[in-house]
């Protein structure tokens, strides 16, 4: 096996590894988001049973906090995972051209 062939095989394995890691990261991100959303929905359901929280601002504050977390933290993490996957795809395309 020549060096160029072994380098090509190694590069393809590395790209596939990066893609698998990015896919796993995306699954973990969605899992965290679902758990976070589910937990906050449970809290909101409990608060809905209290007249004090319905009349007050507590539910709106919690809803805004959940949205803020998703927008400020989960969004950028999703974008980073997508970027990693896209870069691996570009690398793979360039590798197959040569």
**Of 14-23, 36-45, 54-63, minimum mean pLDDT range:** 54-63
Q: What is the pLDDT of residues 31-45, one digit of tens each?
A: 998 999 999 999 888
The residues spanned by each domain of the chain are 3-97
d(C-alpha 18, C-alpha 95), whole Å: 15
Q: Rounded to 10 degrees, what is the CA torsion of 82, 87, 89, 90?
A: 140
* pLDDT score recorded for residue 11: 67
């Amino acid at each position: 096996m020549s060096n160029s062939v072994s380098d090509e095989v190694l590069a393809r394995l590395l790209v596939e590894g990066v893609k698998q890691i990015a896919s796993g990261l995306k699954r973990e991100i969605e899992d965290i988001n679902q758990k976070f959303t589910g937990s906050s929905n449970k809290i909101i359901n409990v608060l809905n049973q209290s007249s004090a929280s319905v009349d007050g601002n507590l539910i709106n504050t919690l809803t805004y906090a959940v949205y803020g977390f998703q927008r400020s933290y989960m969004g950028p993490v999703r974008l980073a995972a997508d970027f990693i996957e896209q870069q691996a795809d570009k690398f793979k395309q360039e590798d197959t051209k040569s």
